[in-house]
Amino acid sequence: MRTGSALLTNAVGLHARPSVKLTQLAKSFAGTVEFSLSPDGPWTDAKSPVKVMRVRAGKGETLHVRTDGPDADAALEAVIGLIRRQFDEH
Amino acid sequence: MTSHAFKGQCASSGFAAGIVTDLPGADAARAQRLVAALDPDAEAEALRQALARATAELQVLAATADGEAADMLGFQVAMLEDDALAEPAFVAIAGGTAAVEAWTATMDAEIAGYEASEDEYFRARASDLGDMKARVFDALTGTAATALPRGTILLADDITPSRFLSADWQGGAILLRKGSATSHVAMLARARGVPMIVGLEANDIGGRRVLVDARQGMVLVDPSEDEAACFESRRGDSAAREVSAALFLNKPAITSDGHRITTLVNIADPDELDSLNPAHCDGIGLVRTELLFEGNALPSEDEQAAIYARMVRWADGRPVTFRTLDAGGDKPIPGLTPDGESNPFLGVRGVRLTLARKDVFLPQLRAMARAAALGPVEVMIPMVSLPSELEAARALLVEACAALASEGIVHRMPALGMMVEVPAAALTLELFDAAFLSIGSNDLTQYVMAAGRDIAAVADLADPAHEAVLRLIGMVADHGARAGIKVSLCGDAGGDARLIPLLLARGLRILSMSPRLLASAKQVIAAADLGRT
Contact of A7 with chain B, judged by CB distance below 8 Å, is answered with no
Cβ neighbours of A44 in B, within 8 Å: none
Asked if A49 and B117 come within 8 Å (Cβ–Cβ), the reply is no
Q: Is the pLDDT of residue B533 over 60?
A: no
Of B72, B84, B306, the CB nearest to A50: B84
B405-449 per-position pLDDT tens digit:
999 999 999 999 999 999 999 999 999 999 999 999 999 999 999
Pick the most confident of B127-131, B183-187, B245-249, B396-400.
B396-400
Query: B294 and B191 in one domain?
Result: no
CA-CA-CA-CA torsion sign (B89, A46, A32, A63): negative
Query: B513 and B391 in one domain?
Result: yes
Q: Check residue B28 and give left, alpha or beta (phi > 0: left; psi -120 to 50: alpha).
A: alpha
Q: Which residue has the higher pLDDT, B464 or B142?
A: B464
Say if residues B155 and B206 touch (Cβ distance below 8 Å).
yes
Asked if A9 and B302 come within 8 Å (Cβ–Cβ), the reply is yes
Of B82, B121, B122, the CB nearest to A48: B82
Q: Check residue A56 and give left, alpha or beta (phi > 0: left; psi -120 to 50: alpha).
A: left
Residue B182 is predicted with a pLDDT of 60
Residue B528 is predicted with a pLDDT of 93
Domain membership flag for residue B191: yes
Query: B489 and B388 in one domain?
Result: yes
Domain final position from B221, B241, B273: B221
Domain membership flag for residue B237: no
**pLDDT tier, B502 (very low <50, low <70, confident <90, very high otherwise):** very high
Residue spans per domain, chain A: 2-88
Residue B170 is predicted with a pLDDT of 87
Cβ neighbours of B125 in A, within 8 Å: 15-16, 53
Q: To 10 degrees, what angle do helices B99-115 and B26-35 make? A: 140
Residue B509 is predicted with a pLDDT of 97
Contact of A60 with chain B, judged by CB distance below 8 Å, is answered with no
**pLDDT tier, A45 (very low <50, low <70, confident <90, very high otherwise):** very high
Say if residues B79 and A50 touch (Cβ distance below 8 Å).
yes
Query: Is the preceding peptide bond at B382 cis, omega within 30 degrees of 0?
Result: no
**pLDDT tier, B22 (very low <50, low <70, confident <90, very high otherwise):** confident
Which domain CATH number covers B284?
Answer: 3.20.20.60
What ipTM goes with this model?
A: 0.89
**pLDDT tier, B31 (very low <50, low <70, confident <90, very high otherwise):** low
Cβ neighbours of B79 in A, within 8 Å: 49-50, 53
Query: Mean pLDDT throughout B247-251?
Result: 86
Between CA B218 and CA B202 the distance in angstroms is 11
CA-to-CA separations, B376 to A35, B343, B345, B348, B434, in angstroms, rounded = 38, 37, 32, 30, 17
Domain membership flag for residue B226: no
Residue B38 is predicted with a pLDDT of 65
Query: Mean pLDDT throughout B378-398?
Result: 98
Pick the most confident of B122-136, B194-208, B248-262, B267-281.
B248-262
Domain membership flag for residue B234: no
Query: B478 and B376 in one domain?
Result: yes
Asked if A20 and B302 come within 8 Å (Cβ–Cβ), the reply is no
Of B84, B110, B119, the CB nearest to A56: B119
Question: H/E element holding B7?
Answer: strand B4-7
- Return mean pLDDT, chain B: 88
Domain final position from B201, B221, B241: B221
Domain membership flag for residue B302: yes
Radius of gyration of chain B, Cα coordinates, nearest whole angstrom: 27
Q: Is the pLDDT of residue B2 over 70?
A: no
Query: B171 and B40 in one domain?
Result: yes
Pick the most confident of B21-35, B180-194, B207-221.
B207-221
Domain membership flag for residue B211: yes
Of B74, B75, B117, the CB nearest to A56: B117
**pLDDT tier, B472 (very low <50, low <70, confident <90, very high otherwise):** very high
Query: B192 and B103 in one domain?
Result: yes
Query: B189 and B96 in one domain?
Result: yes
Domain membership flag for residue B386: yes
Query: Mean pLDDT throughout B462-467?
Result: 94
Residue B340 is predicted with a pLDDT of 81
Residue A90 is predicted with a pLDDT of 60
Query: B197 and B267 in one domain?
Result: no
* Percent of chain B topping pLDDT 90: 52
Query: B181 and B269 in one domain?
Result: no
Query: B340 and B217 in one domain?
Result: no
When divided into structural domains, chain B yields a total of 2
Contact of A51 with chain B, judged by CB distance below 8 Å, is answered with yes
Pick the most confident of B19-28, B66-75, B314-323.
B314-323
Query: B282 and B195 in one domain?
Result: no
Query: B71 and B200 in one domain?
Result: yes
**pLDDT tier, A58 (very low <50, low <70, confident <90, very high otherwise):** confident
Cβ neighbours of A12 in B, within 8 Å: 121, 306
Q: Is the pLDDT of residue B105 over 60?
A: yes
Q: Write out the residues of chain B at the interface with chain A, using a CB-CB cutoff of 8 A.
A: 71-72, 74-75, 78-79, 82, 84-85, 110, 113-114, 117, 119, 121-122, 125, 128, 300, 302-303, 305-306, 309, 374
Cβ neighbours of A90 in B, within 8 Å: 305-306, 309, 374
Domain coverage including residue B369: 250-527
Between CA A45 and CA A54 the distance in angstroms is 11
Q: Is the pLDDT of residue B24 over 60?
A: yes
DSSP string computed for A49-64 = HHHHHHH-PPTTPEEE
pTM: 0.55
B160-173 per-position pLDDT tens digit:
776 787 778 888 99
Q: Give me the architecture of the A2-88 domain, per CATH.
A: 2-Layer Sandwich (3.30)
Which domain CATH number covers B192?
Answer: 1.10.274.10
Contact of A16 with chain B, judged by CB distance below 8 Å, is answered with yes
Q: Is the pLDDT of residue B33 over 70?
A: no
B55-83 per-position pLDDT tens digit:
988 888 888 777 777 888 899 999 999 99
Contact of A84 with chain B, judged by CB distance below 8 Å, is answered with no
DSSP string computed for B61-106 = HHHH--HHHHHHHHHHHHHHH-HHHHHHHHHHHHTT--HHHHHHHH
Pick the most confident of A54-58, B102-106, B414-418.
B414-418
